[in-house]
């Protein structure tokens, strides 16, 4: 296929583009290379893709409707993997307009490009953050997600609703993927693996929120990308069993699907830090702090729908994934 991968210089976008190239697809990568975090890391990821003959890069702002429309019209994509977004729960409190521009306006432009050019399937990133204040665990796609606790989560829930409208009105097959705490080599420096690893290696205190009473469903990047690619090959279809009297959130009587992608094994935050210290070979002080605004205490994915759809179970053990991350981290940051 000829596939558009947005956010190709980002963490998940880079790995998704590399995986598609490895299997022989033609990939056009889009990224704006913004400075939300170190641009040199984004350029380093991009440099690994650029030598590939089947890869082309376009530096475009998602909010630029004209530029996005022209890209779709010229390139004639068959599939779209939309991973570009303004990420970060806490940053959405400080800088809300960036999330509206990228995650709402930008996503509208992607939907319009898909509609106008008869794209066979749009796969897009959602997030486990949409579960917000839900207390029922594990999180299921069947659960209501009406109580977000951050603007970031709200924009991602809005993306799911917008995709449903385009599936319903225009027959556009859309699949939204709720990612659970993705980690691995080449990860984002604002996420806990790099934040904690840097503190451990430099001997500075780690800030531990909610005094350590937190757990996350850490999911290794390879498992995430395997799910993305398998679902891209399986365009969403209308659910023949959909009951409008008793509707469920994960399907519709339109070509629309929502899936969790998580490891199904939540790990306590303090155990995670201890394991990261183990693979790095050093320890450091922990500074216990209260819960941050916009955060949630626990995440845990129910992936039964994903397993049924494409037959995969994300299962990379945390220690194996952290060993791979630690090896890359020490090499890239020269520790």
**Catalytic (active-site) positions:** 152
Q: Pick from 141, 335, 152, 135: which is nearest to 252 by CA?
A: 141
Helix residue ranges per DSSP H, the chain? 11-22, 39-49, 65-75, 89-94, 96-99, 106-116, 151-170, 192-202, 221-232, 269-280, 304-310, 318-332
Closest to 6 (Cα-Cα) out of 86, 73, 74: 86
- What is the chain's length? 335
Residue with tokens 């991009």: 46
CB atoms within 10 A of CB 245: 4
Count of C-beta atoms within a 10 Å radius of residue 175: 24
Three-state SS at 186: coil
DSSP E strand stretches across the chain: 2-6, 26-31, 55-59, 79-82, 121-127, 174-179, 182-183, 206-208, 215-216, 219-220, 256-261, 267-268, 286-288
Inter-CA distances, 32 with 7, 36, 195, 215, Å: 8, 11, 24, 33
Q: Hey, is 63 helix, strand or coil?
A: coil
Collapsing DSSP to helix, strand or coil, 141 comes out as coil
**Distance from C-alpha of 204 to C-alpha of 168, rounded to nearest angstrom:** 52
Specify the DSSP class assigned to residue 130: G
């Amino acid at each position: 296929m000829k596939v558009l991968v947005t956010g190709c210089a980002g963490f998940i976008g880079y790995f998704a583009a590399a995986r598609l190239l490895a299997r022989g697809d033609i990939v056009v990568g889009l990224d704006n290379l913004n400075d939300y975090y170190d641009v040199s890391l984004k350029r380093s990821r991009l440099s690994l893709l650029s030598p590939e003959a089947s890869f082309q890069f376009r530096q475009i702002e998602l909010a630029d409707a004209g530029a996005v429309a022209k890209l779709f019209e010229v390139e004639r994509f068959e599939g779209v993997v939309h991973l570009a977004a303004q990420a970060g729960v806490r940053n959405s409190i400080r800088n809300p307009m960036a999330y509206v521009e990228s995650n709402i306006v930008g996503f509208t432009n992607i939907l319009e490009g898909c509609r106008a050019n008869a794209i066979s399937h749009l796969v897009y990133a959602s997030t486990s953050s949409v579960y917000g204040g839900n207390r029922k665990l594990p999180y299921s796609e069947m659960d209501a997600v009406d109580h977000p606790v951050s603007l970031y989560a709200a924009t991602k829930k809005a993306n799911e609703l917008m995709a449903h409208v385009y599936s319903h009105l225009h027959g556009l097959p859309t699949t939204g993927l709720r990612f659970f705490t993705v980690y691995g080599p080449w990860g984002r420096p604002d996420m806990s693996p790099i934040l904690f690893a840097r503190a451990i290696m430099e001997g500075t205190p780690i800030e531990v929120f909610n005094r350590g009473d937190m757990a996350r469903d850490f999911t290794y990047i390879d498992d995430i990308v395997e799910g993305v690619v398998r679902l891209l090959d399986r365009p969403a279809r209308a659910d023949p069993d959909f009951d409008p009297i008793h509707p469920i959130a994960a399907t519709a009587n339109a070509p629309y699907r929502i899936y969790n992608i998580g490891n199904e094994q939540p790990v306590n935050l303090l155990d995670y830090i201890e394991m990261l210290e183990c693979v790095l070979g050093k320890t450091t002080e922990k500074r216990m702090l209260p819960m941050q605004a916009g955060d949630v205490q626990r995440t845990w994915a129910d992936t039964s729908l994903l397993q049924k759809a494409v037959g995969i179970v994300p299962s990379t053990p945390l220690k194996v994934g952290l060993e791979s991350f630690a090896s890359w981290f020490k090499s890239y940051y020269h520790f």
